[in-house]
Structure 1
Amino acid sequence: MTNAPYPASAGTSAAGKPTSQSPASLARRILLQGRYESLTMLRNGEQLILAVVLPLLALVGLTVTPFLDGLGASRINVAVPGILALCAMSTAFTGQGIATGFDRRYGVLRFLSTTPLGRTGLIAGKVLAVLVVLCLQVMVVTLVALPLGWQPPASGWLPGLFLLVLGAAAFTALGLLVAGTVRPEATLAITNLLWILLGVLGGIVIPADRLPAVAQSIVVYLPSGALGEALREAFMFGTVDVGAAFILLAWTVLAGAAAIRWFKWN
């Protein structure tokens, strides 16, 4: 009886001779991880509701009600920047925070951090996934808002998109900080609760001028309030709120440093 040949493997040819395969570059590993993370987020029904459906419902609700009247622009022009900011918070903070928390619980983070991808590549892949999903959110919101009468100034797109990315970076850092320091169940509760509180009272959808007086002096220093005000300045008037941009940068640096210092991989 003759022995059957071993099947070809990653390092062996069908003839049994070793083959040389160069490992994928770090950039390719990050792209593949980002693709995987993006598809995972888009296939998750709960995250789609949080990232797309609820923001669109809020957009329509603010457009058909008089709540945003008297702010120097049409309802839709005031509402859309806040909805874009809400999209960034939904994906970067709540969605990524919950996903990372449960990846940590089931040992996925610990396993991936020991692969050639490494911890740096894993985090970069998550950031890339946030940016991909955020681009899709901007496209969907724009396609819905333009027929409703949204008229952003051309000069506001470049600073608006830059500030949106900066806000996403701040919320991603905060999401990773929460996901890496508390239990997954607590991450789920904290991120969802903060999504509601910041969405309603954090100056992200409703301008600070429409909030109670005691809250107005606080929300401008929150990442939600800073991002909401910065996007309204950009997409309504074509100007840059430098103060809000510095606040977002400060949140990104501080939350990122805290996440690096205290993040637990298992």
Structure 2
Amino acid sequence: MSLDLSPRSGVAPQGRRVLRHAALEASLLLRNGEQLLLSLVIPLGLLVAGMLWGGRFGLDARAFPASVIALALWSTSFTSLAINTAFERRNGVLERLAATPLTRTDLVAGKALATTAIALGQVAVIAAVAFALGWRPEANPGQVALAVLASVFSLVTFACFALALAGRLRAEATLAVANLIYLLVAAGGALVLPLAAYPDALRLPLLLLPSGALGESLRAAATGGFQPFLVVISAAWAALALAVARKAFRWTS
């Protein structure tokens, strides 16, 4: 019996490359304590506090978990992605990965799959905790489908803006700016609080923001509303963000 020890050049199929890279991206993100805090710990803390004591402050128990889900999606697809990518770019990780069989398309697809997987995990965990605390949404199948579409477009929007930010600023600047934007949007971007909580003059501008469209779409799905125009707003932002990311993102520092 003879052994064939001759080298066999070649690379793994593209699908396998992307999946393995996505698994690596997701595992690195989940090991990062700061990003895990933004992605899950803070949303869960807000959820528990809102469900237990939010009634004293006029929070709608049906809509508030949807607001927390919107916040979680925002934190993962924008803040965490921007910070991680910026430090990968500064440390030369992206350059080294580009020298492997992974193409740039593979790298972007891997990041997209990792972000999507973590977002799905966030939704599952937050929804499970909310149900345990008594959340009973009035699900409208049509609006639920629209909310899913709005969420997909919003993930694309936030991720593209995250890549644009990480591709233009130094890593330390990206860290500061991304966290500042996270706080500003969380506090005043109609993610956690519904539009009704803001002055009349701010409601339309906030609704036209990607954060406002996502928050209102998810809250509508939880309360039985039907607002298809929110998907149009989210889709328009996704198209714009894709164009910005293509122009602004740079692989090397």
What's the TM-score once normalised by structure 1's chain length? 0.87
Cα deviation, residue 38, structure 1: 0.5
2:176 maps to 1:189:
yes
**What is the aligned partner in structure 1 of residue 151 from structure 2?**
164
2:71 maps to 1:51:
no
Counterpart selection for 1:128 from 100, 113, 134 = 113
Task: Could you tell me which runs of 5 or more consecutive residues in structure 2 were left unpaired when the two chains were aligned.
Answer: none
The alignment covers a number of residue pairs equal to: 248
Change in 2 beyond 3 A, CA 1:67/1:177: farther
**What is the aligned partner in structure 2 of residue 214 from structure 1?**
201
Task: Could you tell me which runs of 5 or more consecutive residues in structure 1 were left unpaired when the two chains were aligned.
Answer: 1-13
Whether the 8 Å CA contact 1:68–1:75 is kept in 2: the answer is: no
Alignment of 1:1-150 (within 5 A): 17-63=5-51, 64-66=53-55, 69=58, 75-150=60-135
2:233 maps to 1:247:
yes
Cα deviation, residue 182, structure 1: 1.2
User: Per chain length, whose mean CA-contact separation is higher, i.e. which structure has more relative contact order (CA < 8 Å, sep 6+)?
Assistant: 2
Change in 2 beyond 3 A, CA 1:219/1:154: closer
Give the aligned residue type for 1:252: A
Q: Percent identity?
A: 37
**What is the aligned partner in structure 1 of residue 163 from structure 2?**
176
Give the aligned residue type for 1:237: G
Whether the 8 Å CA contact 1:180–1:263 is kept in 2: the answer is: yes
Whether the 8 Å CA contact 1:98–1:187 is kept in 2: the answer is: yes
CA RMSD of aligned residues (A): 1.9
Looking at CA atoms only, which structure, 1 or 2, has the larger radius of gyration?
1
Equivalent residue of 1:162, what SS? helix
Moved more, 210-219 or 124-133: 210-219
Separation in 2, partners of 1:209, 1:144: 26
Separation in 2, partners of 1:135, 1:66: 28
Cα deviation, residue 118, structure 1: 1.1
